[in-house]
Amino acid sequence: MISNHEIVAKFERDFIADSKLSHSQALRIIDALWNEGVKLGSLPPKDPFEGLETDYKIARALNACLKKSSPG
């Protein structure tokens, strides 16, 4: 369990700042991840709409929280 979230956030910011990928490098990574998912049998999804309602419900809840907590 993460006990100091600020340390993790700083690590993520520093990691992102130091990780400058070109567009072609990023595409190669995505392609490799997709191919691995295909080999593992998890991609492509059998039903691409499965779980979509759950995603909508979560998005609505998060957006409602953001609207309530935003100043202004």
Q: What are phi and psi of 18, to 5 degrees?
A: -85, -15
Mean pLDDT, the chain, whole residue set: 88
pLDDT reported for residue 41: 93
Q: What are phi and psi of 23, to 5 degrees?
A: -60, -45
Q: What is the pTM of this model?
A: 0.49
* 12, two tokens: 């993520």
How do the domains of the chain map onto residue ranges? 5-69
Q: pLDDT grade, residue 68 (50/70/90)?
A: confident
